[in-house]
Structure 1
Amino acid sequence: MMIRREAELLMEGGGGSAATVRARSFGLLDTPAIRRGIEKTQGIDLVVDLGARIGSATWWRGLATCTALCALTFSMAPSFRPLIGASPAPLAETQERENRRQAIAPQAFGADTGARAPATNLVERLTDTPERPQIQLTATLGAGDGFAHALERAGVGADQAQQAADLVSEQMSLGEIKPGTRVDLTLGRRPNKQVARPLDRLAFRAKLELALEVQRIDQALKLIPHPIAVDETPLRIQGRVGASLFAAARAAGAPAQAVQTYLRAMAQHVSVGAIRANDRFDLIVAHRRAATGETETGGLLYAGLDEGKKVLRLLKWDMDGKEQWFDAAGVGEQRGQMKMPVANAHVTSGFGQRFHPILGYSRMHQGIDYGAPMGSPIDAATDGVVSFSGWHGGHGNYVQIRHPGGMGTGYAHMSRILVHAGDHVRAGQIIGYVGSTGLSTGPHLHFEVFKNNVAVNPLSVKFTQAAQLAGNTLARFKATLAHLLATRVSG
């Protein structure tokens, strides 16, 4: 009761603070010195509101107190400088070379592990150690590695490694074994520790359709082949071209190499850039699946493109020891710079100086004449843009086409023209028909070739030629094509 009354009196008098009240409550104000100190600080506000009475003595005292407290806080803040640890001394050249050899070389397939440190005088050799009756390990054949050498590296004796290699070579060529092939080995008990362990068993997958095993039977190594059934049904992949033929074919499951081969084959017959989004691609790829589950995907066998009104089918075929792509009619790849402008035509007049049959004097003949029946179709020799179309003096009905690379072609004496100046034409597109207009003695095509606006001999240009299958070869070709087209779409 006395403590409460004392606090009430103190608060009513307006003097002191909560700390003063608590001090008095616990009897701490009994000494004269403490009482005098409290009386001196009773009128001082230690927590100053810096937003009020700006510029007064109390405000400046509060600012000084805040500044001092902030400085004290920053002075006790931890440092952010990194602590630098002790750096190891650099390796000597010999140590660095040895470290690099032992760290990198063992990572390669079939690599030897390099030099080894010999034992010092501090190493005491054991008089005897027990050995396991058999040990199982794996040898890996490296690129350019020998089969016998890989076995020796794994711990097989040189004579037995060579004997095993000879046995395997009777079944297949050692060069056919792919790098990275893992060989499972079982080494038996040896008579003493001074010789290599004997080879008890060796097994590896030689091919998709063959596994080979070498076993020790009656103290002799014998080869035991294990044939594996393989399904060689090709893999057929179809789909819509969409925004990108390559991306669509890859998304459908076609290997990247097969898609690249498909595009190269198609480029021989159509402009790849002209393939539309709604066109459909058709790929048949060589594929083998073993009974044990492993698979192998080979090259592209068939390439098809459905453009709606037109379907292009290409089949890879070996002709005279060389593989090329033939369409369903047995026509192979076209090679050369330009296409013949008139089919089944013969040259009636060559390039150069000649006596003109109508004008009656000699002058330069800037092209060659192809004799052909009236109305025979005339094809554009290659892709280009028509630069002239119409009557051209002695040329009669005349068309001139500008091609990439500074090349140009001219077609004269037409009976009818089908293209106009500015038209884009493709190789093989019909641009008109054979006639006898202008200075002409009969139906023929006067064909000109220009290089940088200078006339050159058209016979110096390589015209496209395509291989053609016939007879029994064509029959076998069509039978193979029909068999492949019977393949079901995968998935």
Structure 2
Amino acid sequence: MSGNAAALTMSQAIPLRSGDAKAPPLLSWRERLAQLDLVPDLGNDIGSREWWRGLATLTLLCGSAIATFPGIRPLAAPTAPALDAADFNEARAQMIVPLAFGGDTGRHMAATDAVRPLTQTPERPQIELTATLGRGDSFARVLERAGVGSAEAQALASQVSGAVPLADIAAGTRIDLILGRRAARTMPRPVDALAMRARFDLRIEMERIDGRLVMRSIPIAVDNTPLRIRGRVGDSLYRSARAAGAPPEAIQAYLRVIGKQISVGSDIRANDEYDIVVDYRRAETGESETGKLLYAGLIRNGRPKLSMLEWKKDGRSQWFEASGVGEQRGGMARPTNGRVTSTFGMRRHPILGYRRMHSGIDFGGGYGAPIYAVTDGVVAMAGRNGGYGNYVRLNHGGGLGTGYGHMSRVAVRAGQRVSRGQVIGYIGSTGLSTGPHLHYELYRNGRAVNPSSVTFVTRAALEGKELADFRARIRQLTAIESGAALTPIAPKQVEGPKLGSLADVTAKRIGDGI
């Protein structure tokens, strides 16, 4: 065999069978059908041949299902026959019908010869009930509604008025009554006993002895120590004060007072301490009453930053600082408590981008901070005003006027008279504004002038003995320990017999043979 033999190809080395040269037609169609995807994913290759083939398959299947749908035919069911009158009454007798619908169910049996009517039904010897004095109600009228005769109700009212003026009895006062046996069915029941908390420091009790009502006035010891609450502001002054036990009304009054001196939203820090003193009364019986705010303070770094006390000057109560200065009636007040962020004059407009006249003063402040009228006047305009956004203009007479722009909300209406210091709106960012602030303008004879030319007069001072008394009152309130008003008080002993509860009176009278 020659050494330079040529290499054989694979087809030459392994000869094909005669059947492999060409596959049978049936086998070829089976392979093609096996490779054909009739249900491709219609979410892929949208618009391709495979996608159109899958859509045709889906359409064919849906059409076949609709064509072969047998439809829905209701099944006939037998209905219950209607009840006749006798059967209906029998069924109704076994029902439970609400009282609001008459409650006439159940079986009713006619009286037999064994039933004899009573000539006179017995009465309860006593009736205990409670009456409540409503707003604008009279003491005698409350007793009459409870079943007391008109003459006796008037006599009781006159007797009670000798111990306490009837006008001092607060609405909502509960009056516990015991009505005794009446002489005849046509007569009202007499009052055997009466008890009520006529005043926070006084309880009145009456008991019928030898045919006449004897009244006892029982004084109740009351501790009038004001309630002082101090704490760290933290994330929220309101939530912190509520957690410390301050009433919601006192916190709201506190925020209103300090909000006239500083910005509550931006000038109070988390490490500051609030100092709240409210009028507080606590009775020996355990009840307590919270009155109005007496002192509002803010402490920063251990030193008082703000101390406010309500004081009456010239017959008018107002809040003064610890130095003895407070609001003054005359002059123009600051329109808000924020700092001045932009003055009167030419400047580059922060939105428009070119220099133009700034015809007012901008005061920064937190969104929703109150805006005050600088002096008495009449609202000339209140509403939207172009780039000013929500805008209020006041006329003060003598050619003077003021304007307040970019408010979040307007609190007055056109034509309304406003007084100095009255809230006329709230700081916002409406109109051409880059953030919450107040744009304040001052007009003289219709022309805008520099508001800085007018001094803001916001304070009046206490002097002499009045200032000394004012500072002594501050020292008295700030000397109270926090929570001292909540310490237990010793009950006051009242001389003479003390009438107990109405249950005790009832037990006593039953024991006497009533």
Matched, 1:205 2:197: yes
Aligned residue in 2 for 1:302: 295
AA at the equivalent of 2:284: A
Amino acid at match of 1:383: V
Q: Indicate which of 298, 308, 311 corresponds to 1:314.
A: 308
Specify the alignment match of 2:82 in structure 1.
Answer: none
The aligned residue for residue 385 of structure 1 is: 342
TM-fit CA distance, 1:451:
7.3
2:261 corresponds to which residue? 269
1:254 pairs with 2:243: no
Residues 1:222 and 1:141: Cα distance change in structure 2 (over 3 Å): same
Contact 2:297 2:304 (8 Å CA) reproduced: no
Confirm or deny that 1:279 pairs with 2:272: yes
Please tell me whether the aligned partners of residues 253 and 293 of structure 2 are also in contact (alpha carbons under 8 angstroms): yes
Query: Does residue 330 of structure 2 align to residue 325 of structure 1?
Result: no
Q: Which residue in 2 is equivalent to 1:52?
A: none
Q: Distance in 2 between matches of 1:142 and 1:175?
A: 12
Q: Which runs of 5+ in 2 are unaligned?
A: 1-73, 78-99, 102-115, 348-357, 364-391, 394-401, 404-434, 487-514
The whole-number CA distance in structure 1 between the counterparts of 2:203 and 2:251 is 32
Q: What is the CA–CA distance in structure 1 between the aligned matches of 2:443 and 2:183, rounded to whole Å?
A: 88
Kindly tell me: are residues 455 and 142 of structure 1, through their superposed partners in 2, closer, same or farther at Cα, counting changes over 3 Å? closer
Q: Equivalents in 1 of 2:333, 2:156: separation in Å?
A: 60
> For 1:245-273, what per-residue CA distance to the aligned partner results, in whole angstroms no more than 9, with x for missing partners?
12221221111111111111112221212
How much does 1:178 deviate? 2.4
Residue 226 (str. 1) matches residue 185 (str. 2): no
| Alpha-carbon distance in 2 for matches of 1:457, 1:142 | 57
Query: CA deviation digits over 1:402-450, x for unaligned, max 9?
Result: 3368979xxxxxxxxxxxxxxx9x99xxxxxxxxxxxxxxxxxxxx966
Structure 1 match to 2:21? none
Deviations 1:338-366 (A, max 9, x none): 569xxxxxxxxxxxxxxxxxxxxxxxxxx
What residue in structure 2 maps to residue 175 of structure 1? 167
Q: Name the structure, 1 or 2, with higher relative contact order (CA <8 Å, separation 6+).
A: 2
Distance 1:277 1:337 in 2: 35
Task: Describe the shift of the 1:151–1:288 C-alpha distance in structure 2 as closer, same or farther (beyond 3 A).
Answer: same
Alpha-carbon distance in structure 2 between the residues aligned to 1:152 and 1:303: 47
2-side partners of 1:334 and 1:267: how far apart? Answer: 17
Q: Quickly say closer, same or farther: Cα 1:249–1:403, change in 2 above 3 A.
A: same
What is the percentage of aligned positions where both structures have the same residue? 50
Which blocks of at least 5 consecutive residues in structure 1 are unaligned? 1-74, 79-98, 101-123, 341-379, 391-398, 409-423, 428-447
463, 468, 488: which is aligned to 1:470?
463
Q: How far apart, in 2, do the equivalents of 1:218 and 1:318 lie?
A: 53
Aligned partner letter, 1:403:
D
TM-superposed deviation, 1:335: 5.9
Q: Closer, same or farther in 2 for the Cα pair 1:327/1:384, shift >3 Å?
A: same
Kindly tell me: are residues 339 and 196 of structure 1, through their superposed partners in 2, closer, same or farther at Cα, counting changes over 3 Å? closer
Is the 8 Å Cα contact of residues 241 and 277 (structure 1) preserved in structure 2?
yes
| SS at 2:183 equivalent | coil
- RMSD over aligned Cα atoms: 4.1
> How far 1:286 sits from its partner (Å)?
0.8
TM-aligned CA deviation for residue 215 of structure 1: 2.8
User: Equivalent residue for 1:158?
Assistant: 150
For 1:460 and 1:157, locate their aligned partners in 2 and report how far apart those are by CA, in whole Å.
74
The answer to whether the aligner puts 1:403 opposite 2:362 as a matched pair is yes
> Deviations for 1:5-53, whole angstroms, at most 9, x for unmatched residues?
xxxxxxxxxxxxxxxxxxxxxxxxxxxxxxxxxxxxxxxxxxxxxxxxx
Whether the aligned pair in 1 keeps the contact of 2:227 and 2:280 (CA below 8 Å) is yes
**Equivalent residue letter for 1:299:** K
Q: d(CA) in 2 for partners of 1:316 and 1:138?
A: 41
Equivalent pair of 2:344/2:451 in contact (CA under 8 Å): no
Match of 1:454 among 424, 429, 447: 447
- 1:480 correspondence with 2:470: no
Check the 8 A contact 1:332/1:468 in 2, yes or no: yes
Aligned residues: 293
Q: 1:170–1:320: structure 2 CA closer, same or farther, 3 Å change rule?
A: farther
- Cα deviations by residue, 1:174-217 (Å, 9 ceiling, x for unpaired): 23322322111112222222211111211101111011123333
